[in-house]
Amino acid sequence: MLNIAIFASGGGSNAEAIIRYLKDHANLSVKLIVSNRKNAGVLDRAANHGIQTLLINRDGFYEKKDLTPRLAEHKIDLIVLAGFLWLIPKYLIKDFPNRVINIHPALLPKYGGKGMYGHHVHQAVFNNKEKESGLTVHYVNEHYDEGNIILQARCPLTPTDQPEDIARKVLSLEHQVYPVAVEMVGRFMKDGLI
């Protein structure tokens, strides 16, 4: 069994989609939800599914670097970021080589980088009158949104789509695609392909 930790800072609708999709999966298990916000909705979702949670703070995450042993206690093999807004520190990437993946709500390399998250992304896509948007699942390196791309999925936009409409379209696509992408990465890990 490969154990997954989902890191999330917010509502956690993607985390929920992944948890539901992988429930009773033969090879993959969502073992832990990690959050940096004590009021994050994702923590309630974890509780509803009986999944353990870990609340982290900046000092432990960036200075004491105490997350690796805590993840080891849960035998975590793969870290899945789902709306996690802190930059992943170097030591964690080194300890989990090609084992940290993220979803970004746009077609990278456009609309990525520091400060480009959530509604900021969709507003920028709207401002540029893009005809399509979508999502990118990628490996995480020490820079925001710059790791190698695993897959992208796109959705058409109409001239009347407002930023909220774009957000809704992309989020719905995320719920459809991210769980399957996580499963694919898990399968390739198990088969020793990545």
Q: Strand (E) positions, the chain?
A: 2-7, 28-35, 52-55, 78-81, 100-104, 132-139, 149-156
CB 79 within 8 A of CB 91: no
- Nearest-CB residue to ligand GAR? 83
* Residue placing its CB nearer to ligand GAR in the complex, 31 or 104: 104
Candidates 25, 74, 104, 138; catalytic one:
104
* Residues forming a β-bridge with 29: 3
Which residues fall within 8 angstroms of residue 160, CB to CB, at 6 or more apart? none
* Residue placing its CB nearer to ligand GAR in the complex, 75 or 168: 168
| Binding interface with ligand GAR (CB under 6 A) | 8, 10-14, 82-83, 103-105, 117-118, 121, 171, 174
What are the phi and psi torsion angles at 48 (to 5°)?
-60, -30
Residue 104 known to be catalytic: yes
* Residue placing its CB nearer to ligand GAR in the complex, 13 or 133: 13
Spatial separation of the C-alpha atoms in residues 58 and 179, rounded to whole Å: 28
Task: Please identify every residue annotated as catalytic.
Answer: 104
